[in-house]
Structure 1
Amino acid sequence: MSAPERIPPRSVTAAELLTSGELTVRGRIREASNAALYCTVALDGQEAACVYKPVAGERPLWDFPDGTLAQREVAAYEVSEATGWGLVPPTVLRDGPYGEGMCQLWIEVTAQDELLALVDGEEPGPGWKAIGFAEVGAGRTALLVHADDTRLRRLAVLDAVINNADRKGGHLLPAGDGRLYGIDHGVTFNAENKLRTLLWGWAGEPLTEEALGVLEGLRKGLAQGGALAGRLAELITAAELDATRARVDALLASGRHPEPSGEWPAIPWPPV
Protein backbone atom coordinates (compact mmCIF):
# COMPACT_ATOMS: atom_id res chain seq x y z
CA MET A 1 0.00 0.00 0.00
CA SER A 2 1.40 3.34 -0.97
CA ALA A 3 1.82 6.03 1.65
CA PRO A 4 -0.89 8.70 1.68
CA GLU A 5 -0.03 11.88 -0.15
CA ARG A 6 1.31 14.49 2.22
CA ILE A 7 -0.65 17.71 2.05
CA PRO A 8 1.54 20.75 2.64
CA PRO A 9 0.40 23.09 5.40
CA ARG A 10 -1.90 25.89 4.30
CA SER A 11 -0.28 29.27 3.96
CA VAL A 12 -1.87 31.65 6.45
CA THR A 13 -1.93 35.37 5.73
CA ALA A 14 -0.87 37.84 8.39
CA ALA A 15 -4.45 39.12 8.65
CA GLU A 16 -5.81 35.59 9.17
CA LEU A 17 -3.14 34.82 11.74
CA LEU A 18 -3.84 37.99 13.71
CA THR A 19 -7.61 37.67 13.49
CA SER A 20 -8.13 33.97 14.14
CA GLY A 21 -4.92 32.74 15.77
CA GLU A 22 -4.60 31.74 19.42
CA LEU A 23 -3.31 34.80 21.26
CA THR A 24 -0.91 34.22 24.15
CA VAL A 25 0.36 37.08 26.30
CA ARG A 26 4.12 36.91 26.89
CA GLY A 27 4.77 40.24 28.62
CA ARG A 28 4.01 43.93 28.85
CA ILE A 29 5.62 46.76 26.88
CA ARG A 30 6.29 49.14 29.75
CA GLU A 31 7.27 52.16 27.63
CA ALA A 32 3.73 52.45 26.26
CA SER A 33 1.39 55.07 27.73
CA ASN A 34 -1.59 52.70 27.39
CA ALA A 35 -1.71 48.97 28.02
CA ALA A 36 0.36 47.27 25.31
CA LEU A 37 1.08 43.56 25.57
CA TYR A 38 3.73 41.56 23.75
CA CYS A 39 2.12 38.34 22.52
CA THR A 40 2.43 35.44 20.18
CA VAL A 41 -0.35 34.34 17.88
CA ALA A 42 -0.56 30.84 16.39
CA LEU A 43 -2.75 29.26 13.70
CA ASP A 44 -2.40 26.09 11.59
CA GLY A 45 1.18 25.51 12.65
CA GLN A 46 2.29 29.09 12.00
CA GLU A 47 3.25 31.54 14.73
CA ALA A 48 4.25 35.18 14.91
CA ALA A 49 4.92 37.85 17.50
CA CYS A 50 2.41 40.66 17.82
CA VAL A 51 1.28 43.58 19.96
CA TYR A 52 -2.15 43.45 21.61
CA LYS A 53 -3.63 46.68 22.97
CA PRO A 54 -6.93 45.99 24.77
CA VAL A 55 -9.53 48.74 24.75
CA ALA A 56 -9.93 48.17 28.50
CA GLY A 57 -6.36 49.43 28.99
CA GLU A 58 -6.82 52.73 27.18
CA ARG A 59 -6.66 56.04 29.02
CA PRO A 60 -9.56 58.26 27.90
CA LEU A 61 -8.49 61.40 26.01
CA TRP A 62 -10.65 64.51 26.23
CA ASP A 63 -9.94 65.52 22.62
CA PHE A 64 -10.61 62.01 21.24
CA PRO A 65 -13.95 61.23 22.93
CA ASP A 66 -15.50 59.13 20.16
CA GLY A 67 -14.55 55.54 19.47
CA THR A 68 -11.41 53.87 20.75
CA LEU A 69 -7.69 54.20 20.12
CA ALA A 70 -7.72 50.59 18.93
CA GLN A 71 -10.24 51.40 16.20
CA ARG A 72 -8.12 54.34 15.04
CA GLU A 73 -5.06 52.10 14.83
CA VAL A 74 -6.93 49.72 12.56
CA ALA A 75 -8.29 52.62 10.50
CA ALA A 76 -4.74 53.89 9.96
CA TYR A 77 -3.74 50.44 8.69
CA GLU A 78 -6.70 50.41 6.29
CA VAL A 79 -5.68 53.76 4.79
CA SER A 80 -2.05 52.63 4.59
CA GLU A 81 -3.11 49.52 2.66
CA ALA A 82 -5.25 51.64 0.33
CA THR A 83 -2.19 53.73 -0.57
CA GLY A 84 -0.30 50.62 -1.67
CA TRP A 85 2.73 51.77 0.32
CA GLY A 86 2.35 49.26 3.17
CA LEU A 87 3.57 51.71 5.81
CA VAL A 88 1.66 50.25 8.78
CA PRO A 89 2.14 46.65 9.95
CA PRO A 90 -0.88 44.35 9.52
CA THR A 91 -3.41 45.41 12.17
CA VAL A 92 -6.80 43.99 13.12
CA LEU A 93 -9.50 44.44 15.74
CA ARG A 94 -10.19 41.23 17.65
CA ASP A 95 -11.15 39.72 20.95
CA GLY A 96 -8.32 38.73 23.28
CA PRO A 97 -7.54 37.71 26.87
CA TYR A 98 -8.55 41.17 28.13
CA GLY A 99 -11.39 41.85 25.73
CA GLU A 100 -11.54 43.55 22.37
CA GLY A 101 -8.43 45.31 21.25
CA MET A 102 -6.00 46.08 18.49
CA CYS A 103 -3.65 43.29 17.40
CA GLN A 104 -0.66 44.24 15.23
CA LEU A 105 2.16 42.21 13.76
CA TRP A 106 5.42 42.76 15.65
CA ILE A 107 8.14 44.35 13.53
CA GLU A 108 11.70 43.45 14.46
CA VAL A 109 13.98 46.43 13.94
CA THR A 110 17.07 44.94 12.32
CA ALA A 111 18.20 47.79 10.07
CA GLN A 112 20.51 50.58 11.22
CA ASP A 113 18.97 53.37 9.13
CA GLU A 114 19.79 56.79 10.54
CA LEU A 115 16.51 58.65 10.20
CA LEU A 116 16.93 61.46 12.76
CA ALA A 117 19.94 63.46 13.88
CA LEU A 118 21.03 66.58 15.77
CA VAL A 119 23.56 68.71 13.89
CA ASP A 120 25.40 71.95 14.47
CA GLY A 121 24.75 74.86 12.15
CA GLU A 122 21.79 76.64 10.62
CA GLU A 123 21.15 74.38 7.63
CA PRO A 124 20.94 70.61 7.17
CA GLY A 125 23.59 68.85 5.14
CA PRO A 126 22.97 66.94 1.90
CA GLY A 127 20.45 64.14 2.33
CA TRP A 128 18.75 65.75 5.34
CA LYS A 129 15.70 67.95 5.92
CA ALA A 130 15.38 70.47 8.75
CA ILE A 131 12.72 70.05 11.44
CA GLY A 132 13.69 72.83 13.87
CA PHE A 133 16.03 73.76 16.66
CA ALA A 134 16.17 71.81 19.92
CA GLU A 135 17.82 72.51 23.26
CA VAL A 136 20.58 70.03 23.98
CA GLY A 137 21.73 71.29 27.39
CA ALA A 138 24.08 73.89 28.84
CA GLY A 139 22.30 76.62 26.91
CA ARG A 140 23.14 75.01 23.57
CA THR A 141 20.80 74.34 20.68
CA ALA A 142 21.20 72.05 17.72
CA LEU A 143 19.30 71.59 14.50
CA LEU A 144 17.00 68.56 14.52
CA VAL A 145 16.88 66.95 11.09
CA HIS A 146 15.34 63.89 9.45
CA ALA A 147 16.56 61.95 6.45
CA ASP A 148 15.46 63.03 2.98
CA ASP A 149 14.08 59.54 2.48
CA THR A 150 11.31 58.46 0.08
CA ARG A 151 9.85 56.18 2.75
CA LEU A 152 9.61 59.04 5.26
CA ARG A 153 8.07 61.30 2.63
CA ARG A 154 5.36 58.74 1.96
CA LEU A 155 4.74 58.49 5.69
CA ALA A 156 4.42 62.28 5.89
CA VAL A 157 1.65 62.09 3.29
CA LEU A 158 -0.10 59.28 5.17
CA ASP A 159 0.11 61.28 8.41
CA ALA A 160 -1.45 64.30 6.70
CA VAL A 161 -4.35 62.16 5.50
CA ILE A 162 -5.03 60.43 8.83
CA ASN A 163 -4.33 63.61 10.84
CA ASN A 164 -1.69 61.98 13.03
CA ALA A 165 -1.28 63.92 16.28
CA ASP A 166 1.75 61.97 17.50
CA ARG A 167 4.40 61.07 14.90
CA LYS A 168 7.49 60.60 17.06
CA GLY A 169 10.89 59.23 16.17
CA GLY A 170 10.30 56.13 18.26
CA HIS A 171 7.32 55.28 16.05
CA LEU A 172 9.56 54.72 13.01
CA LEU A 173 10.65 51.11 12.55
CA PRO A 174 13.18 50.34 9.78
CA ALA A 175 13.12 46.63 8.97
CA GLY A 176 15.93 44.52 7.54
CA ASP A 177 14.17 44.09 4.19
CA GLY A 178 14.47 47.82 3.47
CA ARG A 179 10.92 48.66 4.44
CA LEU A 180 9.99 51.35 6.94
CA TYR A 181 6.94 51.00 9.17
CA GLY A 182 5.09 53.53 11.29
CA ILE A 183 3.32 52.44 14.47
CA ASP A 184 1.21 53.89 17.32
CA HIS A 185 -1.69 55.47 15.44
CA GLY A 186 -4.18 55.74 18.30
CA VAL A 187 -4.48 59.55 18.13
CA THR A 188 -5.50 59.96 14.51
CA PHE A 189 -8.57 60.89 12.45
CA ASN A 190 -9.74 63.74 14.67
CA ALA A 191 -12.24 65.96 12.87
CA GLU A 192 -10.14 69.00 13.90
CA ASN A 193 -6.69 69.58 12.46
CA LYS A 194 -4.22 68.14 14.98
CA LEU A 195 -1.21 67.18 12.83
CA ARG A 196 1.87 66.92 15.07
CA THR A 197 4.90 65.27 13.55
CA LEU A 198 8.65 65.21 13.22
CA LEU A 199 8.30 64.94 9.45
CA TRP A 200 8.00 68.63 8.58
CA GLY A 201 11.03 68.64 6.27
CA TRP A 202 8.89 68.85 3.14
CA ALA A 203 6.40 71.41 4.52
CA GLY A 204 5.15 73.62 1.70
CA GLU A 205 7.00 71.66 -0.99
CA PRO A 206 5.13 70.22 -4.00
CA LEU A 207 3.83 66.69 -3.54
CA THR A 208 5.44 64.07 -5.74
CA GLU A 209 3.58 62.72 -8.78
CA GLU A 210 3.43 59.39 -6.98
CA ALA A 211 1.76 60.98 -3.95
CA LEU A 212 -0.77 62.82 -6.11
CA GLY A 213 -1.71 59.56 -7.81
CA VAL A 214 -2.11 57.84 -4.46
CA LEU A 215 -4.28 60.68 -3.16
CA GLU A 216 -6.52 60.42 -6.23
CA GLY A 217 -6.94 56.73 -5.47
CA LEU A 218 -7.80 57.52 -1.85
CA ARG A 219 -10.37 60.06 -2.96
CA LYS A 220 -12.13 57.41 -5.05
CA GLY A 221 -11.99 54.88 -2.22
CA LEU A 222 -13.35 57.41 0.27
CA ALA A 223 -16.29 58.44 -1.91
CA GLN A 224 -19.78 57.39 -0.87
CA GLY A 225 -20.02 53.67 -1.57
CA GLY A 226 -16.24 53.32 -1.89
CA ALA A 227 -14.52 50.28 -0.40
CA LEU A 228 -12.26 52.30 1.88
CA ALA A 229 -15.16 54.47 3.05
CA GLY A 230 -17.07 51.33 4.02
CA ARG A 231 -14.19 49.96 6.09
CA LEU A 232 -13.54 53.26 7.84
CA ALA A 233 -17.24 53.79 8.61
CA GLU A 234 -17.00 50.81 10.96
CA LEU A 235 -14.04 52.31 12.82
CA ILE A 236 -14.42 56.11 13.00
CA THR A 237 -17.35 58.54 13.19
CA ALA A 238 -19.16 60.01 10.20
CA ALA A 239 -17.71 63.45 11.03
CA GLU A 240 -14.18 62.01 11.14
CA LEU A 241 -14.72 60.24 7.83
CA ASP A 242 -15.95 63.49 6.24
CA ALA A 243 -12.89 65.28 7.65
CA THR A 244 -10.61 62.63 6.12
CA ARG A 245 -12.23 63.21 2.72
CA ALA A 246 -11.74 66.96 3.18
CA ARG A 247 -8.04 66.52 4.01
CA VAL A 248 -7.48 64.45 0.87
CA ASP A 249 -9.33 67.05 -1.22
CA ALA A 250 -7.26 69.86 0.33
CA LEU A 251 -3.97 68.08 -0.38
CA LEU A 252 -4.96 67.53 -4.00
CA ALA A 253 -6.16 71.13 -4.36
CA SER A 254 -2.92 72.61 -2.99
CA GLY A 255 -0.60 70.00 -4.51
CA ARG A 256 1.74 70.59 -1.59
CA HIS A 257 2.74 69.08 1.73
CA PRO A 258 0.92 70.82 4.60
CA GLU A 259 2.63 73.39 6.81
CA PRO A 260 2.28 73.89 10.58
CA SER A 261 -0.78 75.96 11.42
CA GLY A 262 0.93 77.90 14.22
CA GLU A 263 -2.11 77.34 16.45
CA TRP A 264 -0.48 74.66 18.62
CA PRO A 265 2.92 72.94 18.99
CA ALA A 266 3.66 71.27 15.64
CA ILE A 267 6.12 68.73 17.06
CA PRO A 268 5.03 66.08 19.60
CA TRP A 269 6.68 65.91 23.01
CA PRO A 270 8.90 64.14 23.65
CA PRO A 271 9.93 64.11 19.96
CA VAL A 272 11.58 60.67 20.17
Structure 2
Amino acid sequence: MTSTDLQPVLDESDALRLLRGGEFELEGRLVDASNTTLRGFLTLDGVTARCVYKPIRGERPLWDFPDGTLAGREVGAYLVSRATGWDVVPPTVLRDGPFGPGACQLWIDEPEEVEALVGFVPAQSLPPRWFRIAGAVDDDGEEYALAHSDDPRLARLAVFDAVINNADRKGGHILVGRDDRLYGVDHGVCFHVEEKLRTVLWGWTGRQLPPDAVEVLGRLAAELNGGLGEELSEHLTISEVAQVAARVARLLADGRFPDPPSDWPAVPWPPV
Protein backbone atom coordinates (compact mmCIF):
# COMPACT_ATOMS: atom_id res chain seq x y z
CA MET A 1 0.00 0.00 0.00
CA THR A 2 1.49 3.33 -1.04
CA SER A 3 0.77 6.82 0.20
CA THR A 4 -1.54 7.45 -2.77
CA ASP A 5 -3.68 4.33 -2.23
CA LEU A 6 -7.14 4.72 -0.80
CA GLN A 7 -8.10 3.05 2.43
CA PRO A 8 -9.81 -0.31 1.79
CA VAL A 9 -13.50 -0.51 2.63
CA LEU A 10 -13.89 -2.72 5.71
CA ASP A 11 -16.97 -3.66 7.68
CA GLU A 12 -16.82 -3.12 11.42
CA SER A 13 -15.96 -6.70 12.38
CA ASP A 14 -13.13 -6.91 9.84
CA ALA A 15 -11.83 -3.50 10.91
CA LEU A 16 -11.78 -4.52 14.58
CA ARG A 17 -10.05 -7.77 13.76
CA LEU A 18 -7.37 -5.90 11.82
CA LEU A 19 -6.95 -3.28 14.55
CA ARG A 20 -6.54 -5.92 17.25
CA GLY A 21 -4.29 -8.37 15.45
CA GLY A 22 -2.65 -6.57 12.52
CA GLU A 23 1.10 -6.22 12.28
CA PHE A 24 2.27 -2.61 12.70
CA GLU A 25 4.34 -0.59 10.26
CA LEU A 26 4.70 3.00 11.42
CA GLU A 27 4.59 5.72 8.77
CA GLY A 28 5.15 8.93 10.70
CA ARG A 29 3.97 11.31 13.40
CA LEU A 30 1.10 13.79 13.20
CA VAL A 31 3.03 16.78 14.48
CA ASP A 32 0.04 19.06 15.15
CA ALA A 33 -1.35 16.74 17.82
CA SER A 34 -0.81 17.72 21.46
CA ASN A 35 -0.11 14.08 22.44
CA THR A 36 2.06 11.59 20.59
CA THR A 37 -0.06 10.56 17.60
CA LEU A 38 1.39 8.21 15.01
CA ARG A 39 0.06 7.09 11.65
CA GLY A 40 0.87 3.68 10.33
CA PHE A 41 -0.27 0.56 8.55
CA LEU A 42 -1.74 -2.63 9.91
CA THR A 43 -1.59 -5.85 7.92
CA LEU A 44 -3.45 -9.09 8.61
CA ASP A 45 -4.24 -11.99 6.26
CA GLY A 46 -3.28 -9.99 3.20
CA VAL A 47 -5.34 -6.91 4.12
CA THR A 48 -3.56 -3.63 4.85
CA ALA A 49 -5.15 -0.45 6.16
CA ARG A 50 -4.00 2.78 7.76
CA CYS A 51 -4.50 3.49 11.42
CA VAL A 52 -3.86 6.17 14.03
CA TYR A 53 -1.93 4.93 17.07
CA LYS A 54 -1.76 6.94 20.31
CA PRO A 55 0.56 5.25 22.83
CA ILE A 56 -0.26 5.84 26.49
CA ARG A 57 3.40 6.67 27.19
CA GLY A 58 3.06 9.64 24.82
CA GLU A 59 0.11 11.22 26.64
CA ARG A 60 0.85 14.66 28.02
CA PRO A 61 -0.20 15.05 31.68
CA LEU A 62 -3.35 17.14 32.21
CA TRP A 63 -4.45 18.91 35.37
CA ASP A 64 -8.03 17.62 35.21
CA PHE A 65 -7.72 14.10 33.77
CA PRO A 66 -5.82 11.24 35.46
CA ASP A 67 -2.53 10.32 33.81
CA GLY A 68 -2.55 7.40 31.40
CA THR A 69 -6.32 7.35 30.84
CA LEU A 70 -6.77 9.13 27.50
CA ALA A 71 -6.43 6.01 25.34
CA GLY A 72 -9.15 4.27 27.33
CA ARG A 73 -11.42 7.28 26.85
CA GLU A 74 -10.87 7.05 23.09
CA VAL A 75 -12.08 3.45 23.21
CA GLY A 76 -14.99 4.42 25.46
CA ALA A 77 -16.15 6.99 22.91
CA TYR A 78 -16.14 4.31 20.22
CA LEU A 79 -18.17 1.96 22.42
CA VAL A 80 -20.83 4.62 23.02
CA SER A 81 -20.84 5.51 19.31
CA ARG A 82 -21.39 1.88 18.37
CA ALA A 83 -24.22 1.58 20.90
CA THR A 84 -26.02 4.58 19.38
CA GLY A 85 -26.04 2.98 15.94
CA TRP A 86 -24.85 6.29 14.50
CA ASP A 87 -21.26 5.04 14.18
CA VAL A 88 -19.82 8.54 14.46
CA VAL A 89 -16.46 7.28 15.78
CA PRO A 90 -14.19 5.07 13.63
CA PRO A 91 -13.47 1.57 15.00
CA THR A 92 -11.05 1.95 17.94
CA VAL A 93 -9.32 -0.58 20.20
CA LEU A 94 -6.79 -0.63 23.00
CA ARG A 95 -3.79 -2.74 22.02
CA ASP A 96 -0.05 -3.10 22.29
CA GLY A 97 2.05 -1.39 19.65
CA PRO A 98 5.60 -0.34 18.83
CA PHE A 99 5.64 2.09 21.79
CA GLY A 100 3.52 0.03 24.17
CA PRO A 101 -0.21 -0.04 24.85
CA GLY A 102 -2.34 2.65 23.28
CA ALA A 103 -5.47 3.52 21.35
CA CYS A 104 -5.51 2.30 17.76
CA GLN A 105 -8.14 3.72 15.43
CA LEU A 106 -8.99 3.10 11.79
CA TRP A 107 -7.80 5.97 9.59
CA ILE A 108 -10.55 7.87 7.73
CA ASP A 109 -9.81 9.06 4.20
CA GLU A 110 -11.51 12.36 3.32
CA PRO A 111 -12.21 13.21 -0.34
CA GLU A 112 -9.94 15.89 -1.75
CA GLU A 113 -12.91 18.20 -2.24
CA VAL A 114 -15.25 17.85 0.70
CA GLU A 115 -17.93 20.36 1.61
CA ALA A 116 -17.01 22.27 4.75
CA LEU A 117 -19.47 21.87 7.61
CA VAL A 118 -17.68 23.98 10.25
CA GLY A 119 -15.35 26.95 9.94
CA PHE A 120 -14.80 30.70 9.78
CA VAL A 121 -16.84 32.53 7.14
CA PRO A 122 -17.15 36.26 6.32
CA ALA A 123 -19.46 37.71 8.96
CA GLN A 124 -21.73 39.32 6.38
CA SER A 125 -21.92 36.22 4.16
CA LEU A 126 -23.18 33.46 6.42
CA PRO A 127 -24.23 30.57 4.16
CA PRO A 128 -27.92 29.60 4.19
CA ARG A 129 -28.89 27.21 6.99
CA TRP A 130 -25.71 27.87 8.95
CA PHE A 131 -25.55 28.83 12.62
CA ARG A 132 -23.32 31.65 13.86
CA ILE A 133 -21.47 30.56 17.02
CA ALA A 134 -18.94 33.33 17.67
CA GLY A 135 -17.36 36.35 16.06
CA ALA A 136 -13.72 36.97 15.11
CA VAL A 137 -11.58 39.65 13.48
CA ASP A 138 -8.48 38.89 11.39
CA ASP A 139 -5.22 40.89 11.36
CA ASP A 140 -6.62 43.19 8.65
CA GLY A 141 -9.72 44.02 10.64
CA GLU A 142 -12.05 41.85 8.58
CA GLU A 143 -14.93 40.38 10.55
CA TYR A 144 -15.61 36.65 10.45
CA ALA A 145 -18.02 34.29 12.13
CA LEU A 146 -17.28 30.86 13.55
CA ALA A 147 -20.25 28.91 12.23
CA HIS A 148 -21.50 25.47 11.29
CA SER A 149 -24.06 23.93 9.00
CA ASP A 150 -27.54 22.92 10.14
CA ASP A 151 -26.70 19.37 9.10
CA PRO A 152 -28.50 16.45 10.79
CA ARG A 153 -25.22 14.52 10.92
CA LEU A 154 -23.69 17.33 12.99
CA ALA A 155 -26.78 17.41 15.20
CA ARG A 156 -26.30 13.72 16.01
CA LEU A 157 -22.65 14.41 16.81
CA ALA A 158 -23.71 17.25 19.12
CA VAL A 159 -25.98 14.86 21.04
CA PHE A 160 -23.20 12.28 21.18
CA ASP A 161 -20.77 14.88 22.56
CA ALA A 162 -23.25 15.85 25.25
CA VAL A 163 -23.50 12.20 26.30
CA ILE A 164 -19.73 11.63 26.52
CA ASN A 165 -19.04 15.12 27.93
CA ASN A 166 -16.58 15.98 25.19
CA ALA A 167 -14.26 18.77 26.34
CA ASP A 168 -12.63 19.35 22.94
CA ARG A 169 -14.92 19.18 19.89
CA LYS A 170 -12.93 21.25 17.42
CA GLY A 171 -13.96 21.65 13.79
CA GLY A 172 -10.80 19.81 12.77
CA HIS A 173 -11.99 16.79 14.75
CA ILE A 174 -14.93 16.34 12.37
CA LEU A 175 -14.26 14.31 9.23
CA VAL A 176 -16.41 13.29 6.28
CA GLY A 177 -15.39 9.95 4.81
CA ARG A 178 -15.58 8.76 1.23
CA ASP A 179 -18.94 7.16 2.06
CA ASP A 180 -20.28 10.64 2.98
CA ARG A 181 -20.50 9.48 6.60
CA LEU A 182 -19.51 11.97 9.27
CA TYR A 183 -16.97 10.93 11.89
CA GLY A 184 -15.69 12.52 15.07
CA VAL A 185 -12.13 11.82 16.20
CA ASP A 186 -9.85 12.77 19.13
CA HIS A 187 -11.89 11.78 22.18
CA GLY A 188 -9.16 11.57 24.80
CA VAL A 189 -10.66 14.31 27.00
CA CYS A 190 -14.17 12.94 27.45
CA PHE A 191 -16.17 11.28 30.25
CA HIS A 192 -15.10 13.59 33.07
CA VAL A 193 -17.42 13.45 36.09
CA GLU A 194 -17.66 17.26 36.08
CA GLU A 195 -19.47 19.06 33.27
CA LYS A 196 -16.84 20.04 30.71
CA LEU A 197 -18.71 20.13 27.40
CA ARG A 198 -16.73 22.37 25.06
CA THR A 199 -17.60 22.35 21.38
CA VAL A 200 -18.10 24.33 18.19
CA LEU A 201 -21.54 22.70 17.70
CA TRP A 202 -23.77 25.04 19.73
CA GLY A 203 -26.16 25.90 16.90
CA TRP A 204 -29.09 23.88 18.25
CA THR A 205 -28.84 25.14 21.84
CA GLY A 206 -32.24 24.97 23.54
CA ARG A 207 -33.93 23.38 20.56
CA GLN A 208 -35.98 20.22 20.87
CA LEU A 209 -34.07 16.98 20.34
CA PRO A 210 -35.00 15.20 17.10
CA PRO A 211 -37.12 12.05 17.53
CA ASP A 212 -34.31 9.72 16.43
CA ALA A 213 -32.02 11.18 19.13
CA VAL A 214 -34.67 10.62 21.80
CA GLU A 215 -35.03 7.02 20.66
CA VAL A 216 -31.26 6.50 20.76
CA LEU A 217 -30.95 8.05 24.21
CA GLY A 218 -33.66 5.75 25.53
CA ARG A 219 -31.78 2.76 24.20
CA LEU A 220 -28.51 4.02 25.68
CA ALA A 221 -30.15 4.38 29.08
CA ALA A 222 -31.08 0.71 29.03
CA GLU A 223 -27.73 -0.48 27.67
CA LEU A 224 -25.74 1.49 30.23
CA ASN A 225 -27.37 -0.71 32.86
CA GLY A 226 -26.18 -3.79 31.00
CA GLY A 227 -23.56 -4.66 28.41
CA LEU A 228 -22.49 -1.15 27.49
CA GLY A 229 -21.96 -0.23 31.12
CA GLU A 230 -19.83 -3.31 31.63
CA GLU A 231 -17.73 -2.54 28.53
CA LEU A 232 -17.19 1.06 29.60
CA SER A 233 -16.14 -0.02 33.09
CA GLU A 234 -13.06 -1.62 31.54
CA HIS A 235 -11.85 1.85 30.51
CA LEU A 236 -13.58 4.30 32.89
CA THR A 237 -14.17 4.55 36.62
CA ILE A 238 -17.47 3.54 38.21
CA SER A 239 -18.26 7.23 38.81
CA GLU A 240 -17.53 8.15 35.19
CA VAL A 241 -19.84 5.41 33.87
CA ALA A 242 -22.53 6.53 36.31
CA GLN A 243 -22.23 10.09 35.05
CA VAL A 244 -22.73 8.94 31.45
CA ALA A 245 -26.05 7.45 32.55
CA ALA A 246 -26.89 10.64 34.45
CA ARG A 247 -26.24 12.82 31.41
CA VAL A 248 -28.42 10.56 29.25
CA ALA A 249 -31.20 10.81 31.84
CA ARG A 250 -30.94 14.63 31.92
CA LEU A 251 -31.07 14.89 28.14
CA LEU A 252 -34.17 12.70 28.06
CA ALA A 253 -35.80 14.69 30.84
CA ASP A 254 -35.05 18.06 29.21
CA GLY A 255 -35.80 16.89 25.69
CA ARG A 256 -33.57 19.64 24.34
CA PHE A 257 -30.00 20.28 23.27
CA PRO A 258 -27.92 21.50 26.24
CA ASP A 259 -27.01 25.12 26.92
CA PRO A 260 -23.38 26.32 26.87
CA PRO A 261 -21.67 26.26 30.29
CA SER A 262 -21.46 29.45 32.31
CA ASP A 263 -18.35 28.46 34.31
CA TRP A 264 -16.32 26.74 31.59
CA PRO A 265 -15.18 27.97 28.12
CA ALA A 266 -17.94 26.93 25.72
CA VAL A 267 -15.72 26.76 22.62
CA PRO A 268 -12.32 25.03 22.43
CA TRP A 269 -9.17 26.82 21.34
CA PRO A 270 -8.29 26.77 18.58
CA PRO A 271 -11.85 26.08 17.43
CA VAL A 272 -10.93 24.55 14.06
Structure 2 equivalent of residue 214 of structure 1: 216
How far apart, CA to CA, are the structure 2 residues paired with 1:13 and 1:181? Answer: 18
Structure 1 equivalent of residue 66 of structure 2: 65
Counterpart secondary structure, 2:51: strand
Matched, 1:79 2:84: no
* Cα distance, 1:60 vs structure 2: 1.1
- Which digits, 9 at most, give the CA deviation of each residue in 1:163-189, with x for residues without a partner? 000000110111121111110000000
- Which digits, 9 at most, give the CA deviation of each residue in 1:33-69, with x for residues without a partner? 1111111001111110001100000011110016511
Letter in 2 for 1:176: R
1:12-91 aligned at under 5 Å gives the runs: 13-65=14-66, 68-91=69-92
Letter in 1 for 2:243: A
Match of 2:204 among 193, 202, 205: 202
Structure 2 equivalent of residue 157 of structure 1: 159
Matched, 1:243 2:239: no
Counterpart secondary structure, 1:146: strand
How far apart, CA to CA, are the structure 1 residues paired with 2:172 and 2:90? Answer: 15
Alpha carbons 1:25, 1:38 under 8 Å: kept = yes
Letter in 2 for 1:202: W
How far apart, CA to CA, are the structure 2 residues paired with 1:133 and 1:262? Answer: 18
How far apart, CA to CA, are the structure 1 residues paired with 2:62 and 2:215? Answer: 35
Counterpart secondary structure, 1:239: helix
How far apart, CA to CA, are the structure 1 residues paired with 2:250 and 2:138? Answer: 37
- Which digits, 9 at most, give the CA deviation of each residue in 1:183-215, with x for residues without a partner? 000000000000000000001100000000000
* Cα distance, 1:261 vs structure 2: 1.7
- Which digits, 9 at most, give the CA deviation of each residue in 1:212-233, with x for residues without a partner? 000001000111xx11001000
Alpha carbons 1:251, 1:258 under 8 Å: kept = yes
How far apart, CA to CA, are the structure 1 residues paired with 2:234 and 2:67? Answer: 12
How far apart, CA to CA, are the structure 2 residues paired with 1:132 and 1:60? Answer: 30
Letter in 1 for 2:32: E
* Cα distance, 1:125 vs structure 2: 4.4
How far apart, CA to CA, are the structure 2 residues paired with 1:51 and 1:218? Answer: 27
Instruction: List runs of 5+ in structure 2 lacking aligned partners.
Output: 1-10
- Which digits, 9 at most, give the CA deviation of each residue in 1:250-269, with x for residues without a partner? 00000000011211210000
What is the RMSD of the two structures over their aligned residues, measured on CA atoms? 1.5
Counterpart secondary structure, 2:109: coil
How far apart, CA to CA, are the structure 1 residues paired with 2:61 and 2:132? Answer: 34
1:123-138 aligned at under 5 Å gives the runs: 124-138=126-140
Structure 1 equivalent of residue 5 of structure 2: none
Letter in 1 for 2:238: A
How far apart, CA to CA, are the structure 2 residues paired with 1:197 and 1:134? Answer: 16
Match of 1:188 among 177, 187, 190: 190
How far apart, CA to CA, are the structure 1 residues paired with 2:46 and 2:157? Answer: 34
How far apart, CA to CA, are the structure 2 residues paired with 1:86 and 1:195? Answer: 20
Give the number of aligned pairs: 259
Larger Rg: 1
Structure 2 equivalent of residue 98 of structure 1: 99
How far apart, CA to CA, are the structure 1 residues paired with 2:237 and 2:216? Answer: 23
- Which digits, 9 at most, give the CA deviation of each residue in 1:95-128, with x for residues without a partner? 111110000000011151221242323x944221
* Identical aligned residues as a percent: 55
Matched, 1:119 2:128: no
Structure 2 equivalent of residue 7 of structure 1: none
TM-score, normalised to structure 1, is: 0.92
TM-score, normalised to structure 2, is: 0.92
Counterpart secondary structure, 1:142: strand
